[in-house]
Amino acid sequence: MTFPSFLFLFLAISTGIGLFVIKKKPLAITAIIVFLVLSFFAQTIVIIDAGEVGIQILFGKVMKGFLYEGIHIKNPLARIVTYSIRLQEYTMSVTQGEGARHAADPITARTSDNSEITVDVTIWWTINSDSVGRIYTKVSKNMNNLKEIIIRPASRAVIRDVFSQYKLDDCFRQRDLIRDQLALEMIEYLSPKGLIVDNVLLRDLRPPQSVDLAIQQKLAAEQELQRRDYEIEIARKDSIKRVVEAGGIASAQYIITSNLSDIYNQWNAIEAIKEVSKNGNSVFYVIPTNSDGTGVPIILNADQQQ
């Protein structure tokens, strides 16, 4: 007998009993029977949320047909198990509180040149909705268990295997290539399990502590060298500036001295005397400095000589 036929027969019998009891028995008994009928009917209704898919488990076996989002009528004796088909993430990080586990949970891998590298990674994955029955039967009965027995060990094994194919320097220079290789191998590894890998994110790569210290020292030395080169360049340009300024002063002095003559100097002195003589309250004596009357004269203020 199919489930719809069984449900129809049950409702018919229950309705007949209810009508008989209404005629023969008190109202309280009728209410109890109606409640039982409604309770049984409620067990046949199931609502599957968006982003989930359900399977019916009857007496330990997976029934055919999956329940996708919406309202469904089910066998009242069947138990419903749902799996999320939304995009999931599983993170393993060296930083406490950032990963799937609260404690620090990095992946330590060894490279082809026998160096140790620490990897922080996030895997984006989801469940193939057509495989939920097989997942329940052969892989995992719930989402949390699925992460711990499949996603975690598989990703750690693939990551260690991929990084073992590269030298330490190549792990940093070819980061994008390694990420793509991780995604392809994770897809190949998890697809048979009914899981879909969307992407693999390399969050952080950390070399051994000794190598990291050497890198920091090298960077510090390079920064110090750049600072010294900068100071040398500033000093060189400042030196050039001073040389240029000195050359300008020397050229100006040369031009001035090369154009000066006794007649020119005497003429400037006479012009200065003219300006001084405009003050009518003073008397000046002009004494030539050369016997021929040339040269800059000595000017004596008569008022100051008294």
For residue 35, is pLDDT > 90?
Answer: no
Identify the band that residue 89 occupies on the pLDDT scale cut at 50, 70 and 90.
very high
Q: What is the pLDDT of residue 306?
A: 46
Neighbours of 286 (CB within 10 A): 12
User: First and final CA of the chain: distance in angstroms?
Assistant: 151
Distance CA 231, CA 139 (A): 67
Identify the band that residue 251 occupies on the pLDDT scale cut at 50, 70 and 90.
confident
For residue 258, is pLDDT > 60?
Answer: yes
- Full-model pTM: 0.58
Q: What is the pLDDT of residue 305?
A: 44
Q: Residue 122 is encoded by which pair of tokens?
A: 């996030």
Which residues have C-beta within 8 Å of that of residue 151, sequence separation ≥ 6?
90, 123, 125, 190, 195
Contact 296/266 with Cβ under 8 angstroms? Answer: yes
For residue 217, is pLDDT > 70?
Answer: no
Share of the chain above pLDDT 90, in %: 22
Share of the chain above pLDDT 70, in %: 63
DSSP helix/strand/coil, 83: strand
Rounded mean pLDDT of the chain? 77
DSSP helix/strand/coil, 5: helix
Contact 220/177 with Cβ under 8 angstroms? Answer: no
For residue 297, is pLDDT > 60?
Answer: no
Q: Residue 287 is encoded by which pair of tokens?
A: 């004494």
Kindly provide the b/e burial profile for residues 59-91, where b requires at least 16 CB atoms within 10 angstroms of the residue's own CB. eeebbeebbeeeebebbbebeebbbebeebebb
Distance CA 109, CA 93 (A): 14
Contact 132/83 with Cβ under 8 angstroms? Answer: yes
Distance CA 174, CA 35 (A): 68
Residues paired with residue 284 on neighbouring β-strands, in sequence order: 301
Kindly provide the b/e burial profile for residues 96-132, where b requires at least 16 CB atoms within 10 angstroms of the residue's own CB. eebbbeeeebbbebebeeebbbbbbbbbbbbbbeebb
Q: What is the pLDDT of residue 2?
A: 44
